[in-house]
Chains A and B, each alone.
Chain A
């Protein structure tokens, strides 16, 4: 069963627009971690953020921000004032505390930012 859902397969925006990428997860564990990875056209997955299940504080890093809501099992990612360099595939992932080592990935959202 799919444990991480990224309902948006593709999003296109024009530069300087704000964009939010949605992620909904499913787990019965009380301890877990959520991640966002970025995959630019070069192919390598770049780690962006890790959040544990006990920390629901939103986080901001430059133009990036993350909204973690346990009540809705969501971990959404917003890019403010998007730039062409933000064009990439973005993956949300779940690490369940009851498992050893493995991540469960969503299917990814292809973000294209047009100049």
Chain B
């Protein structure tokens, strides 16, 4: 079974703090994704990566950056957390090639920025 893990289920941070959200997958998937989920807005794509050291902006990249130094790990960074970044963050991965359309999700991190 595909396993996607996220470093924290719940996180509380202060405005202005630098925040790291970590995601690890164990299926050797090439593609990894970070989404943000807010009530009434569904899932919105922040950033994604097709390979190590590669990244692409999604629909709402402002205020975020990412890092992919190893294939299995994809980090989302909030350089200076703000209250409007309070949200649920979901990480996903998928293989390259013919099965790339199916994404597997982690349990999510609920971030509260005070």
**What is A's interface to B at a CB cutoff of 8 Å?**
6, 9, 33, 35, 37, 42-47, 50, 91, 95, 100-103, 105-108
Contact = CB atoms under 8 A, between A and B. Distances in A.
A45 B105 contact: yes
Interface stretch (B19-27, B66-74, B75-83, B96-104): B96-104
Nearest to A50: B102
20 contacts: A6-B42, A9-B40, A33-B101, A33-B102, A35-B101, A43-B88, A43-B90, A43-B110, A44-B105, A44-B106, A44-B107, A45-B92, A47-B102, A91-B42, A95-B101, A100-B50, A101-B33, A102-B48, A103-B103, A107-B40
Contacts of B94: 101
A105 B108 contact: no
Contacts of B48: 101-102
Given A33-B101, A35-B102, A50-B102, A43 B107 contact: yes
Q: Which of A9, A35, A44, A91 has the most CB of B within 10 A?
A: A44
B114 interface: no
B12 interface: no
Interface residues of B, number: 28
Given A43-B108, A107-B42, 16 more contacts: A33-B102, A42-B107, A43-B9, A45-B90, A46-B105, A47-B104, A100-B50, A101-B31, A101-B48, A101-B50, A101-B94, A102-B48, A103-B45, A105-B43, A106-B42, A107-B40
Contacts of A43: 9, 88, 90, 107-108, 110
B101 A50 contact: yes
B50 A44 contact: no
A100 B30 CA distance: 12
Interface string B8-44: 0100000000000000000000010101000011111
Contact of B33 (A33, A44, A102, A107): A102
